A and B are shown apart, each in its own frame.
Chain A
């Protein structure tokens, strides 16, 4: 059974870089069967997809964040990462990592990590 776990600092200063890692167990990020994604949820608000990575190809990013976001994969270490540059208070959110099969919903999620700016 796949498990995902987010890790990283819970507090980031304005204008600095938010960096999070998602460690995956029970599945192979490099298998190509799934997309691996970051999603966030500001306090009391809805879900926002940040971006996806799949099979080592170029990641897809949500347009409003594209200029500030990088998703990278370390297949050998079974983890993928998120970096958001130049953060502001609007980036305060619970950040989730998740996976989904192509054209299907996210079927496994991490527990989420609250990052405050």
Chain B
């Protein structure tokens, strides 16, 4: 199974900050990585697919990069609605696996 390791597990930030979240796969997954945002009591929403492609309707302050085993999600100019938990997920092979999540909290 491919293990997905996210860091940090939580981050405190202020509105306007830049937040960087990393995700490492235990083996190469090419660019078959997605990022999700989840708010309390809601289903996750996809932000990024194929490591760096912005899903339809997602603000451009979200960006993704990486390939192989190391990936990054960047949130530029953090907005109040961005305080949430973020997950990465590999879609390269079964079993599909998620990272443990990064909680972005208000500083």
Contact = CB atoms under 8 A, between A and B. Distances in A.
A105 B43 contact: no
A110 B43 CA distance: 7
A107 B95 contact: no
Contacts of A103: 32, 91-92
Nearest to B1: A63
Contacts of A110: 43
Interface residues of B, number: 25
Interface in B66-107: 87, 89, 91-92, 94-101
B11 interface: no
Contacts, number: 57
Contact residues on A (Cβ < 8 Å of other chain), bracket = 20 to 34
A60 B97 CA distance: 13
Nearest to B93: A103
Given A47-B89, A103-B32, 18 more contacts: A37-B96, A46-B98, A46-B100, A46-B101, A47-B98, A60-B94, A61-B95, A63-B1, A103-B92, A104-B49, A104-B91, A105-B34, A105-B46, A105-B49, A105-B89, A106-B44, A106-B46, A111-B42
29 contacts: A37-B96, A46-B87, A46-B101, A47-B98, A47-B101, A48-B98, A49-B97, A49-B98, A52-B94, A60-B94, A60-B95, A62-B95, A63-B95, A98-B43, A103-B32, A103-B91, A104-B32, A104-B34, A104-B50, A104-B91, A105-B34, A105-B36, A105-B49, A105-B89, A106-B46, A107-B49, A109-B44, A109-B45, A110-B43
